[in-house]
Amino acid sequence: MTDKVGVLGKKSPQRTGVERIVNAPLPTVYGQFRAIGYMDHDRGDEQVALVHGEIGAERVLVRLHSECLTGDAFGSQHCECGDQLASALRAVVAEGSGIVVYLRGHEGRGIGLLGKLRAMALQAEGLDTVEANLALGLPVDARDYGVAADILHDLGVNSVRLLSNNPRKRESLLAHGIDVAETVPLLIPPCESNITYLRTKRERLDHILPHLDAMAHLS
């Protein structure tokens, strides 16, 4: 029992929303960042925004990056997530300022690590990424970007130049009061291992991936 009890015997209200917890310097191979850690009290997730340089309120270069252990940490070629994260960090440093919001709880488009691995096993048998999730009785995409908007609000950001190929991110930020002044493509050259996955993202999840047209030779 963790709830505090007041003098009248009533439980104190639980915290809600996003709370900034810590701001720590984070030197990386890409450049110097500040790692600003948050607690999402609604979902119980720990979140982090990597901030480079002095950011303003308008037209801030921003990447909302969904957690992907297999891609970000292990270098999986099943997806392009690891390369997208690295490219976004490089882009922010090249810009001179910007933010990468790393979204925990988004593994496998929100179905979790084990759910994602089970879906990958079905994809190895011939299902696409959408069919695999549905075959497991899981949502195709359960991600919510409201916490990212809350973090940007906390950082004083009003409008962004969004590094993304996914129109849902733009729509969600707009719905949560963050203006998207521009969408900046983050296109990673595909390989034989992920071309089918990327084509499914374009054809069934509406991701904007025009560079795939030049990759007809990949199976």
| CA 8/CA 122 separation, integer angstroms | 55
Residue 45, helix vs strand vs coil = strand
The active-site residue, picked from 42, 45, 141, 144, is 141
Q: Which amino acid is at 4?
A: K
Q: Residue 159: in which H helix or E strand, if any?
A: strand 159-163
Euclidean distance between CA atoms 216 and 21, whole angstroms? 48
Distance of alpha carbon 55 from alpha carbon 23, whole angstroms? 15
Annotated catalytic, 141? yes
Question: Can 20 be counted among the known catalytic residues?
Answer: no
8 A C-beta contact, residue 145 and residue 64: yes
Task: Please pick, among 63, 143, 161, 170, the residue that the annotation labels catalytic.
Answer: 143
Three-class SS of residue 10?
coil
Catalytic residue IDs? 141, 143
